[in-house]
Structure 1
Amino acid sequence: MELPRIVSVDDHVIEPAHLFASWLPARLRDRGPRPVTTGIGELAYTGGKYVVTMDPDGPPADWWIYEDLAFPYKRNIAAVGFDRDDMTLDGITRQEMRPGCWDPAERLKDMDLNHVEASLCFPTFPRFCGQTFAEARDKEVALACVRAYNDWMVEEWCGDSGGRLIPLCLIPLWDIALAVAEIHRNAARGVRAVTFSEIPTHLGLPSIHSGHWDPFFAACQETDTVVNMHIGSSSQMPAASPDAPVAVQATLSFNNAMASLADFLFSGVLVRFPRLKLAYSEGQMGWIPYALERADDVWREHRAWGGVRDLIPEPPSAYYYRQVFCCFFRDKHGIASLDAVGRDNATFETDYPHVDSTFPHTKDVALDHVRGLDDETVHKLMRGNAIRMLGLDLDRPGR
């Protein structure tokens, strides 16, 4: 079969070393993030968190230094081009990375090699929803960093791509009024995607049940801005035993997405904002049918004592099918359950340049999943649902 060119809803960008020196206001640059190349020490992993130190005698890595934070780039987040056994947690410099990790022109070339027409990219140094800036002490600089990142994302990363690189922006998580203002500022220049935490309480922020985020959700609904929640945007990944190997964390990576979906389905947010669109990024989709079945069963059988009798007027799955998108790249169980997952809800990703990335074999991986499906469904999964979700004009006549 002929596979349509893919619109990937979850890829990643490694920030270029000049980002904040070029895009922060001049008066704030000496207080903002600065790039450094130096050695990295041994990485420790305990209870779902990494601890890393600088070591001038260690292997070189590119870092960002910001307030008390020392943030290194590691090989597993810039893994494309390395053999599978070399995709480690060792430090890496931009010179060692495939240039498509941080250079938009080179990224477009790699997309062409990978059967990808368009790509939505999550941040790395700011972390998946801007936690780096939310945790900073100096909020004047932190706000300027959020805006600088967004300006760079829109104007430099995406600006010359002819719409193939799709802007994904940050909000200042610590101030709801500023967050709303940033949604409107970016929507005015065509941005239709923002990244948000799957479980804000893990970041010390109010929950989605509190009403605190309602002005943000209202702004996203008003501007048709999709709320994208990446696994790990809670600053922690699910872990079992505290001394379990990282492979356990990787196996359970979808758990926070599942918890977040249950949170939203029973929060009333999707009732109050019926045109709000949520997107779960890198969570895969094979778990969704049972999660929806269980949510509907709880709604039918337990809603009185469960606290949602007067809050959720329809079965929770109705809100999922109406307003929520998932994505996959290796999930045959999800494909086998596609009618329950939702043929209009599923999108595709390549996860470039992370260790999970299907690059440069994405076409083969996708064909292995969709072979046997009808052409209309294949088009929806590979691009149509993403185009509709993000309001793209990639399929318009004459393009």
Structure 2
Amino acid sequence: MDSHDSTFPLIISVDDHTVEPASVWQDRLPEKYRGVGPRIVRAPVKEMTFLGGRFRPVMGEPGDDGPVGDWWVYEELRRPLTRLDTAVGYSRDEIKLEVITYEQMRPGSYDVPARLADMDVNHVQSALCFPTFPRFCGQTFTEAKDHELGLLCVRAYNDWMVEEWCGPDARGRLIPLTLIPLWDAELAAEEVRRNAARGVRAVAFSEIPPYLGLPSIHGDGWDPFLQACDETGTVIAMHIGSSSRMPSTSADAPPAVGSTITFANCCFSMVDWLMSGKFEQFPHLKVMYAEGQIGWIPYILERADVVWEENRAWGGVADKVHRPPSELFAEHVYGCFFDDAFGLRNLDAIGLRNVLYETDYPHSDSTWPKSREVGEAQMGHLEAGVVERIVRRNAIELLGLSDEGLWPGGTR
């Protein structure tokens, strides 16, 4: 590990990302599906726009003019790899929305030994990684036409995640995060149990499923999935953007508006969960919000408690939420941050045991390779035991890691 002298604990990051190697699905899908399943094609960009927050690239033909990049091709989807998928190692001025090839990204984005080396440089011991091509909770496969193929793609991704990305070469330092077929809660439950049987303790989910055309958590549509998570101790991990709709205010609002309020969907989602009754129906359920930061949490808990106390009779929650939302939060919800000085000054109002740390490698917001220095600057006013809990201990307890901070399934 890192040879620098430092009293700052080795980091367990609960929000990093993997860029899937080109072979993930081609190596695992039945032969009849390989021609329509996800595969990489190298091609130029024929046309590219970025309007109203939506990126629309058009893939050209070999020989066409235009920047050349590696594209994921799946059914009708043509999705290029971009510099925003993997920005570490490049200066801020070089980070633009442009297509790239695998050779133009840092190898740690997709290669396990290179990732571990980059973690060493960054004082990171272990990391939980969200997907790239499937999107943050598998929306790519949910939106596809062929759900039989989509289910095979979800399972193939999970097999790669557990057996290769978090396999023996990772030495327990990479923590698996799996996907579910979001279109079928019973199949989702089966996939949770299949992966839990091999030691997986986290599954990706959407902050606001109705934004994806799926049921809300207020009904019983997700109950088979939630029951499986409750029984297996599988944490429901929700990343900003997992609703495929980043918050903004208008079509002509500059990107800086949305960038300032990226936490908003986490906020809405947390209130959904606190007022849903699901934490009482499934008492072992745990949820976490990746990259949502934490400074907004105290007021939302205060407001939720006031509403529950004063308005529950007509507010539709008296028959299912029997305890103050802040109490439910303390037992069931985790906020994740990498840059939140205000939140760190208000830990008492959030709950020390409800906070997790992250580095966001390899995205443009990542604190790599200075995550230790950033953490020391942010947490220098805190006692060593408090820092240890934020940076390591909470993640160890939540994700069922060894006392040394490693995923047991990767060290057998």
Per the TM superposition, whether the score is higher than 0.5 is: yes
CA–CA distance in structure 2, aligned partners of residues 210 and 245 of structure 1:
36
The equivalent residue for 1:363 is: 372
The equivalent residue for 1:254 is: 263
Deviations 1:346-378 (A, max 9, x none): 010000000100000000000111112111111
Residue correspondence of structure 1 range 206-355 to structure 2 within 5 A: 206-355=215-364
Deviations 1:259-303 (A, max 9, x none): 000000001111111110101001000110111111111111211
**Stretch of structure 1 that moved more, 275-284 or 41-50:** 41-50
Identity of aligned residues (%): 55
Deviations 1:9-32 (A, max 9, x none): 000000101111112222321221
CA–CA distance in structure 2, aligned partners of residues 5 and 184 of structure 1:
31
- 1:48 Cα deviation after fit: 3.9
Task: Give 1:281's aligned amino acid.
Answer: A
1:115–1:144 Cα change, 3 Å = same
CA–CA distance in structure 1, aligned partners of residues 87 and 200 of structure 2:
28
Of the candidates 11, 15, 25, which is equivalent to residue 16 of structure 2?
11
CA–CA distance in structure 2, aligned partners of residues 297 and 86 of structure 1:
47
Task: Give 1:125's aligned amino acid.
Answer: F
CA–CA distance in structure 1, aligned partners of residues 98 and 139 of structure 2:
23
- 1:250 Cα deviation after fit: 1.4
Q: Mind listing any 5+ residue stretches in structure 2 that lack a counterpart?
A: 1-5
CA–CA distance in structure 2, aligned partners of residues 60 and 46 of structure 1:
21
Deviations 1:114-170 (A, max 9, x none): 000000000000000000001111111111100000000001111021110001000
- Structure 1 vs Structure 2 CA RMSD: 1.5
CA–CA distance in structure 2, aligned partners of residues 236 and 318 of structure 1:
29
CA–CA distance in structure 2, aligned partners of residues 61 and 394 of structure 1:
43
Of the candidates 53, 59, 64, which is equivalent to residue 58 of structure 2?
53
The equivalent residue for 2:151 is: 143
Of the candidates 125, 128, 132, which is equivalent to residue 120 of structure 1?
128
- Corresponding pairs, count: 398
Deviations 1:163-216 (A, max 9, x none): 100010000111111111101110111111100000000000011001110111
Q: Mind listing any 5+ residue stretches in structure 1 that lack a counterpart?
A: none
Q: Do structure 1's residue 35 and structure 2's residue 35 form an aligned pair?
A: no
4+ residue runs of structure 1 moved beyond 6 angstroms?
none
Deviations 1:73-104 (A, max 9, x none): 11112000100111111111110000000001
Contact 2:68 2:100 in 1 (8 A): yes
Q: Secondary structure at the match of 1:31?
A: coil
Deviations 1:216-251 (A, max 9, x none): 111001111000000000011001120122222211
CA–CA distance in structure 1, aligned partners of residues 215 and 50 of structure 2:
28
1:396–1:98 Cα change, 3 Å = closer
Task: Give 2:33's aligned amino acid.
Answer: L
Q: Do structure 1's residue 84 and structure 2's residue 84 form an aligned pair?
A: no
CA–CA distance in structure 1, aligned partners of residues 47 and 108 of structure 2:
27
Contact 1:49 1:236 in 2 (8 A): no
- 1:41 Cα deviation after fit: 4.9
Task: Give 1:13's aligned amino acid.
Answer: T
CA–CA distance in structure 1, aligned partners of residues 37 and 286 of structure 2:
33
Residue correspondence of structure 1 range 352-391 to structure 2 within 5 A: 352-391=361-400
- 1:396 Cα deviation after fit: 7.6
Q: Secondary structure at the match of 1:76?
A: coil
- 1:46 Cα deviation after fit: 3.8
CA–CA distance in structure 1, aligned partners of residues 67 and 326 of structure 2:
50
CA–CA distance in structure 2, aligned partners of residues 278 and 272 of structure 1:
14
